[in-house]
Amino acid sequence: MFKAVIFDMDGLIFDTERLNVDAWQTVGQNNGLAITEKMALEAVGLSPALTKAVFETYLGELPQFYELREQRIHFVRQSIAEHGMPVKKGLTELLDFLLKNGYKLALATSTPRALATSYLELAGILDCFDPIVCGDMIEHSKPAPDIYLKACELLHEAPENCLTLEDSPVGVKAAWLAGTRPVMIPDLIEPDEAVGRMLYACVDSLMDVIQLLYQAAPEEDQRSIDPQ
C-alpha cells in the first residue's frame, strides 16, 4: 500500500506547459530568434540551465538566455492574471481523496520555489503539500533523481512507498531512478517504449489515480479507504 503521493507541478497540477511553449515562441519572435515548438517541447520538465543547453544546441550561444526566460515568465504571469490559474481536470477530487484517506502529499517541481509557491497560492492549494521541493533547492535537476530522493527523505518514506505523478518523460525518468513508482498522465508528450518500461501506470487524468491507489491497497485495507 502506498503511503505518500508526490506531485510534479507544471503540466500535471496546472495546465501551464502549453502556456510555456507558446510563451517561448512569442519571446523568440519578439527577439528575432527562431524558438520553435519542437525546441520548447524538448525543454519540458527541464531546469533553466538544461533548457538553455537545449536552446543553444539549435541557436548557438545565448548569453541573454536568462533575460529571455524572464520575458517568458512575464508572458505566462500575464496570461494567468487575465484568465486565472488553469487547473488540471480531477485535481480537486484527487486532493480531497488523498487528504481524506491519510496519504502524505509532497510536491517535486523543477520550477524555482518563489514561482512555484505563488502558483500554488493562486490556486488555493499551497497548504496541501508538505514538503515542497523545488529546482533551486537541489544540486541536480530532473532527469536526475535528486528531487524525488529529497522529497522521500522529507516525507520519511522509502521510495517504493511513494507514488509519483508526472506528465513528462524527463520527470518519469527522475522518479524511476529515485526508486519511486511513476504514474504518467501525459500532457504535451506521450510516453515512448523506453518511458513505458519505467511506468507503474499511465492514465488519462488525475481522477484515474484514485482508482489506482484503491486497487493498490491490500484487500483488508480497502474497507477503510473511501474511493469516492
Catalytic residues: 8
Measure Cα distances from 143 to 162, 192, 211 in Å: 18, 16, 27
Cβ proximity of 158 and 174 under 8 Å: no
* Cell numbers standing for residue 126: 499551497
Cell of 197: 518500461
CB-based contacts of 145, cutoff 8 Å, min separation 6:
174, 175, 177, 178, 179
